[in-house]
Amino acid sequence: MSLANPDAKGISVKQKVALATGFIGFFILILALFNTNLPNKGVFLTIALGLITAGTILFANNAYLTKLEGIKNDGVWFKSLSSRGVLGWLTGVGLTTFYIILYFYAELLGLGTNGEANTGLIALFDPLSKLLSGNPASQWFVYGTLYTIAIIAFGYKFILKYRHNKYQQIRTVSVIFFQTAFAFIIPELMARLNTENFSLPYNDLKNMWPLNYYAFDGWRVDQFINAQTVGLAFLIFGILLVFVISPILTYKYGKRWYCSWVCGCGGLAETAGDAFRQLSDKRVSAWKFERWMINTVLVFAVVMTVAVISTYLGYDANKYWFTKNVFLISVVVFLTALLAGVIFFKRDQLNKTALVGAFAGYSITIGFIALIYFFDINQVKVNAAYFSFGLNTKVYNLDAALRSFYGFGIGSIFSGVIGTGFYPILGNRVWCRMGCPMAGILGIQQRLFSKFRITTNGGQCISCGNCSTYCEMGIDVRSYAQKGQNIVRSSCVGCGICSAVCPRGVLKLENDSLQGRINSNEVLLGNDVDLMDYVNKN
Amino acid sequence: MEHIVIIGNGISGVTAARHIRKMSDKKITIVSSETDYFFSRTALMYIYMGHMKFEHTQPYENWFWKKNRIQLKKGFVSKVNHESNELIFSNEETLSYDKLIIATGSKPNKFGWPGQDLEGVMGMYHKQDLENLEKYAPNSKVCKHAVIVGGGLIGIELAEMLHSRNIPVTFLVREDSFWNGVLPAGESGMINRHIKNHHIDLRLGVNLKEIISDDHGKAKAVVIQETGEVIDCDVVGLTAGVSPNIDFLKDSGIELGRGVKVNRYLETNIPNIYAIGDCAEQHEAIGNRRPIEAVWYTGRMMGETVAQTICDNRIEYKPGHWFNSAKFLDIEYQTYGWVFGQPKEYEQQFHWIHEDDTKCITVSYHKDSKEFLGINTFGIRMRHEVFDRWLTEKKDVDFVMQNLSTANFDPEFYQKYEKEVLSAYKNSQLQTV
């Protein structure tokens, strides 16, 4: 191959101006980070965020509106940023560093500790935080604001990129809406309702357990209960969401209703992360690892939550209506009924590996519950320094240690540092694919109890590989399409990009009847009808 | 153990190998001089455009072949000796077989144009063509202008490829409208306009006279037959169709026409030798099909069929209803059944085009019996399974037009056009009655 640079197009003058605009905004944030004394922080914050947004919008306008509508993947594998080149690695290192500082060294960002005022970057965001919630900013407010800006700005870019595709546009408007309203503005405004004798925890209504692993932490549940009607309503909604609303929606539409329409992690992945979707690993070995990994995290999330809840129930049963033992027994009954039901009704769809995995997960969970039931596990003390690289040196009871380890290992390192920091290396959905326990649950529902599938259009597949390449979940879509099989995979988040990039109109996301949803016919449409019958019989 | 040797690791040969493996324990060897592993030829364009890397075009991971005990041999077969059941390679190596499947595909046509073998002149079929293009047209600085000769599916793909790297393209098409040997006038016209909207310099009704060389044996310009106009260029793409890649079989005793002659069982005149895919030529065309079908899908179907015959279930190649697809820059095209560019005398066509000039359909039906014969659809995806069924059931055209929404395969939330199409159809019926 030639040594000449194939990406001859480079970027246009207008795109350079747009990039410069965005970088000036970014530079203001850097100045603030290094404690430059910016007068009138509100104005500078507005300018900084405004320039970043404007830069992205200008860039997108020039990149897409100057061309006819259609698939815009030219040069993806020539660009350093999107093909694990130098820019990709630098971005990965930069993002990873940012996440580590955010989670573990927030004081470096200027977080005021012990009642001191914020300084640096966090102080820059004080005016906006005071405007919304009335309180000074925290590192999470800074993160939330930048996160929302990223989804809005890159969401706009995505909508232009797919301006021929209504499904992509509507879906993107949806993630922008849920991030901006539900994850950001509403909880911030609700903080204003808090008074001395009334307070609600920061509550993103759509953030379900177990993605929201702290949903049923003692202090949160206490706050909800103390907040009377409103608090209880939120608590009950949170439980209904997991056990009623989500299963119904997943049955009707597949897990996409959450993962690529509502979820904040999904929202960022689909917008700011869109440029990295082709980097997901498509090997069969990666799929094997994924199944093992995500279900392990799910089991961990369940065990940790049960330990946490049973502990505070053990302290004061009157306050929570039922006792620790009633709770533990209900969990065992529920899980046993669930497993028995699945095995009985879906026995023809479960292969040996699935059964082994289900029994292993079930046994570990039940074993652990028995341990909690018969022993006072909180006699066991754990020094968090062992698992937090010395970042946390407190000594915890076992339940709190589990909770702390989960928060550190899964909540911070996996979903944040690796999940987002490694976008330019591992692709934009590595957390959703390998780690998210919510995606794990929804995936099991989608595989076994859903009308959703990606339909393959008869014999039209030419095995080109665009669908597999651009699948952010690393599904080898082509391997199904070229056999004429529908794609019914638990990991599929229904982003619809495989269908969009297919040059021959082979793939369609559908909610259709359960009959014929999983078709394993080997011979494709188009050949001799008798031959097809013959082969399918064998 | 019976040794099945397949020459060619394209879709035909690989499909045959996979199906033989599924049904038997025979020893299988696939020979190719092009690449180590099977890749999707139709995806070559996306590598140049930067949508994919070469490895993405390989449908199976590299361990697949060993696991399925399919041996891969890289080498160029220069001769087939059917008397000793032996292949002779260009490096004098030999390989014996019990049964031989020839699946060597096509090669780009060259019609004896002066300068057709100069450097910088290439087809777009093999992986080597892609490497050649990468060498002569890596960007618009090295290749300031490219000329494409021949207005078929590969030609427009090559135009799209070069366009993706901002290389100005002049596209010489012999016909007076793009691909109108296949597409009805309305569709062909729409594609003409779409090509021009992409700022590709489409020249209709012109022929190549010659390619002019510079001092180093590299192409520097082309001359147009009709006008004598000289167009400077650094790369010339020859995309005037393909023909069977069978030069190595000359004087082998295997009966050849334009391709390897086969009967309906895909058998050649030599008992244990078969031919499938682009390189096979039916003694008599099947239905409306051509004797040589250089299409991905037919290659695959022949592979499925010949595998049965080799595994002692001798069956005829009996393809179902015709279908095909392509993409013209941003416009997807699918066809089911038969819609002819020049309507047959029994054929009536209904054409609808959307006002945005990127979507249209043409429905063909029998003018007396009203039987539905086929549909071409541009910019609207349709379901293969539904049309296949309607063709089998010989539905009449009114039924098809009224139930068109059943066949819609566009993504969710896409605008639907069936009502508009139906009312246009009804109007057309009133006018013709």
First to last CA, chain B: 67
Helix, strand, or coil here: A296? helix
Mind listing the pLDDT tens digit for each residue in A54-79?
999 999 999 999 999 999 999 999 99
Please give the single-letter amino acid code of residue A417: V
Q: What is the DSSP string of A120-142?
A: HHHHHTHHHHHHHTSS---HHHH
Chain mean pLDDT for chain A: 91
> How many other C-beta atoms can be found within 10 angstroms of the C-beta atom of residue A73?
21
Burial of A39 from C-beta contacts in 10 A (0-12 / 13-18 / 19+): exposed
Note the pTM of the prediction, 2 decimals. 0.95
**Interface predicted TM-score (ipTM) over 0.90:** yes
What's the farthest any 2 CA atoms get from each other in chain A? 81
pLDDT at residue number A84: 96
pLDDT at residue number A3: 43
pLDDT band at B199 (very low <50, low <70, confident <90, very high): very high
B3-107+243-310: CATH superfamily? FAD/NAD(P)-binding domain (3.50.50.60)
CA distance A424 to A278: 10
Domains and CATH numbers, chain A: 1-67+105-193 (no CATH), 451-537 (3.30.70.20)
- Buried-state track A130-150, b at ≥16 Cβ within 10 A, e below 16: eebbeebbbbebbbbbbbbbb
- Domain boundaries in chain B? 3-107+243-310, 121-240, 323-432
Helix, strand, or coil here: A182? helix
Q: Which CATH number fits domain B121-240: 3.40.50.12780, 3.50.50.60, 3.40.50.2300, 3.20.20.330?
A: 3.50.50.60
pLDDT at residue number A39: 86
pLDDT at residue number A8: 47
pLDDT band at A470 (very low <50, low <70, confident <90, very high): very high
CA distance A478 to A466: 8
pLDDT at residue number A5: 53
pLDDT band at A410 (very low <50, low <70, confident <90, very high): very high
**Preferred mutation among A64, A76, A78, A457 to probe B, highest tally of B CBs within 10 A:** A457
- A460:B325 CB<8 A: yes
Take residue B194 and report the two structure tokens written for it: 């779409």
- A75:B49 CB<8 A: yes
Same fold? B121-240, B323-432: no
pLDDT at residue number B313: 93
How close does chain A come to B88, measured CA to CA in Å?
Answer: 30
pLDDT at residue number A193: 83
Q: Which residues of B touch A455 (CB under 8 A)?
A: 409
CA distance B260 to B272: 14
DSSP A4: S
CA distance B301 to B286: 14
Mind listing the pLDDT tens digit for each residue in B140-169?
999 999 999 999 999 999 999 999 999 999
Q: Is B99 in contact with B2 (CB distance < 8 Å)? A: yes
| Percent of chain B clearing pLDDT 70 (strictly above) | 100
Sign of the CA dihedral with A292 first, then A293, A298, and A304 last: positive
- B56:A1 CB<8 A: no
Whether the ω angle into residue A6 lies within 30 degrees of 0, i.e. cis, is no
CA distance A48 to A25: 4
Mind listing the pLDDT tens digit for each residue in B209-225?
999 999 999 999 999 99
Taking residues B68-73, what's their average pLDDT?
A: 98
CA distance A498 to A501: 5
Size of interface A-B (CB pairs under 8 A): 192
**Preferred mutation among B14, B131, B412, B417 to probe A, highest tally of A CBs within 10 A:** B412
pLDDT band at A523 (very low <50, low <70, confident <90, very high): low
- A77:B50 CB<8 A: yes
* Rounded alpha-carbon distances, angstroms, from residue A9 to A79, A335, A342, B120, B140: 11, 57, 54, 21, 8
Question: By mean pLDDT, which of A194-203, A257-266, A400-409 is the weakest?
Answer: A194-203
Mind listing the pLDDT tens digit for each residue in B227-252?
999 999 999 999 999 999 999 999 99
Residue in chain B lying closest to A500 (CA): B411
pLDDT band at A315 (very low <50, low <70, confident <90, very high): confident
Residue in chain B lying closest to A77 (CA): B50
Take residue A397 and report the two structure tokens written for it: 């009871």
- Buried-state track A79-114, b at ≥16 Cβ within 10 A, e below 16: bebbbbeeebeebbeebbebbbbbbbebeebbbbee
Give the closest of A71, A170, A457 to B383, CB-based. Answer: A457
pLDDT at residue number A1: 36
* Rounded alpha-carbon distances, angstroms, from residue B261 to A473, A528, B257: 46, 21, 6
CA distance A401 to A303: 12
Give the closest of B43, B140, B411 to A496, CB-based. Answer: B411
B323-432: CATH class: alpha beta
Mind listing the pLDDT tens digit for each residue in B301-335?
999 999 999 999 999 999 999 999 999 999 999 99
pLDDT at residue number B143: 97
